[in-house]
Amino acid sequence: MQVHEHSMEEIHRCVHCGLCTSACPTFVELRQEADSPRGRIYLMHAILEKQLSIDRKTVQHIELCLDCRACETACPSGVRYSRILEPVRLSLINKRAVSLTWGERFFLFHVFPYSRRVRAALWPVRLLQRLGAYHGLERMGLFRVLPGILGKMASLVNPHVPGQKRLPDFLPGKGRRRARVALFVGCVGDAMFRHIHWATLRVLQENGCDVLVPRGQGCCGAIHYHAGDDRGAKKLAEQNVRSFPVRDLDAVIVNHAGCGAMLKEYPQYWADGDRERYAEFSGKVRDICEFLDDLGIKAPENPLPLRVTYHDACHLAHAQQIRRQPRALLSKIPGLELVPLYESELCCGSAGSYNLLQDAMAMRLVKRKVDRILETGAQGVAAANAGCLLHIGREVRRRRLRLLLAHPVELLDWSYRGVTPPQPGFDVEYRL
């Protein structure tokens, strides 16, 4: 079996030392060996060797994994845990040991990966936000009466940002040209966080970068792949590889961690005759914080008098090993005080669609995360991933906290433009 061939090498590298357990969010919460990376490796090894029957309890332990890859950072043997987990999950889904409801399949495969469909699906919620009724309905718990995945989706929506124009095909850099790049816009990122795309474009321009926004691009494929549709994911990967003129670019810029990790790992997922093309594309992919730190940014001049903490998105810190760069950029903003966050690298519970499919554990983890944020006394939290911003934002609203959520590039953009940040608040519907 192909899954066996791809996974056994990584399994045999595991020395079962247990150093991964303290880094694992589900083990930290549950303290059960079967819900740790080491325990799951034992289970998956037994499944692949046909020593263990595939029953619901066993599958549940594997499904409860966030695939946050914190164990990869902690592992002294360099076990690439995701290369065990992801093929095994695909195999379990293909064997129907793991199944999605009709509603889950519809939204995951036919709505979320398409930005226009996401915006259309959001229309009723956006109307409630404009009418000022959204927060009241959310506080009364009325979204929970919606069936299945709909109720979870209705509460997992960011504040409405009016007037977000369509992104241009091209924007020239200011001053001396330093780089030619293209922006990856994605699906949910474009539908719900276009203001972050605009902030990214302005910051790149400010630093002398010509920016293209290729029109043929689409979802990175992570939603399909992690939900078991590797063929659908590959179609989306093909669409992206065709859309970006990588040989004419210095970098493909991504501003959300989950997308960046997926794009960088295309050659790993499909090691076929197209691997060279995937490798050429993936070799140009850079997270915006990674790229700006390497480029060396123009110093922002306008002060932002804010006390901010930084949350490490899993697929930035663990999958891409990018930790220092966002903090280095934030430290250049005059007036901004960056305070450390305890358990910063512990997953907030978002993990792609995890907060929709495993909502009980996702809520436990986000409560823990927000508790840690509050311990810092920060006025705001920066995070470089759409899922983190949505998931933490929901908990902030639930607790009615005065806490500003922003992407690091937004903070840079406000400082460059001399714009006053929006006031932190659970009831703020509109952001800059």
Residue 428 has pLDDT above 60, yes or no: no
d(CA 19, CA 70): 11
d(CA 295, CA 18): 39
Residue 3 has pLDDT above 80, yes or no: no
- Angle value at C-alpha 186, between 265 and 250, nearest 5 degrees: 60
Identify whether residues 188 and 137 lie together within a single domain.
Answer: no
Give the SS3 label for residue 179: strand
Domain assignment present for 379: yes
d(CA 220, CA 105): 17
Residue 5 has pLDDT above 80, yes or no: no
Total number of domains in the chain: 4
* pLDDT digit string, tens, across residues 266-287: 998 876 667 788 999 999 999 9
Identify whether residues 111 and 54 lie together within a single domain.
Answer: no
Please give the full DSSP string across 199-237, using - where no structure is assigned.
Answer: HHHHHHHHTTEEEE--TT----SHHHHHTT-HHHHHHHH
Identify whether residues 85 and 106 lie together within a single domain.
Answer: no
Domain assignment present for 68: yes
For the chain, the farthest-separated pair of C-alpha atoms sits apart, in whole angstroms, at 64
Q: What percentage of the chain exceeds 70 in pLDDT?
A: 94
Helix axes 275-282, 257-264, angle to 10 degrees: 140
- Do 418 and 300 touch, CB atoms closer than 8 A? no
d(CA 345, CA 326): 13
Q: In what order do the strands lie in the sheet with 285-287?
A: 170-171, 209-212, 179-183, 251-254, 285-287
Q: What percentage of the chain exceeds 90 in pLDDT?
A: 66
Q: What is the mean pLDDT of residues 381-407?
A: 94
Identify whether residues 108 and 90 lie together within a single domain.
Answer: no
Domain assignment present for 241: yes
Determine the pLDDT at residue 155: 83
* pLDDT digit string, tens, across residues 185-206: 999 999 999 999 999 999 999 9
Domain that residue 111 falls in = 102-155
Q: pLDDT band for position 301 (50/70/90)? A: very high
Identify whether residues 89 and 141 lie together within a single domain.
Answer: no
